[in-house]
Amino acid sequence: MTCKQVREVFPELEQPDLAEIQDAIDAIIADYQPRGIELAKIASGYRFQVRSDVSRWVSRLFEEKPPKYSKALMETLAIIAYRQPVTRGDIEDIRGVSVSTNMIQTLLEREWVRILGHKEVPGRPALYGTTKQFLDYFNLSTLNELPTLQELQGLELSAPETSLADAPRLENPSV
């Protein structure tokens, strides 16, 4: 929830200032600091979630395994995240292989990407971009929190046999 959404919970004449709500949120964040859960700021507002340092133990409580995504899907998602707005043809040019309709459909169904519009060229291909759900899933507030090219190259230097698609998925168990 955002501060504005919290404010709307109160009757109109009793609504606190946004600064008061932010102060209360900051106090809750501080209060939960020593606990196994936290109030985290994400793209769509604030949410309670399991702290990353205890998430591996909490995830053992759930029988359901998170879905595994193919290297091709993660590469496609990375291209969209870093190059948006981007067309399917742009993605194919970068990857050097065709992009499956099912792959794009999966990203649309997960609501990680959306169609931002259509490019003004023959055929009017769709322009894809990421969504707040993408940011929330990967525990990001903005696209600026994505690793830079230099940081990614540092990963390759430290572990030459791994690629971005092989990097561990950011876990984000919500409470």
- Mean local confidence (pLDDT), 96-109: 92
- Together in a domain, 75 and 154: yes
Res 36 pLDDT > 70: yes
Domain count, the chain: 2
- Together in a domain, 79 and 128: yes
Res 62 pLDDT > 90: no
Cα torsion angle, 39, 41, 44, 45, sign: positive
- Together in a domain, 103 and 41: no
Per residue in 118-164, pLDDT tens? 999 999 999 999 999 999 888 888 899 888 878 877 766 655 444 44
| Interior/surface letters 102-127, b for 16+ CB within 10 angstroms, e for the rest | ebbebbeebebbbeeeebeeeeeebb
- Domain span including residue 81: 71-166
- Together in a domain, 14 and 36: yes
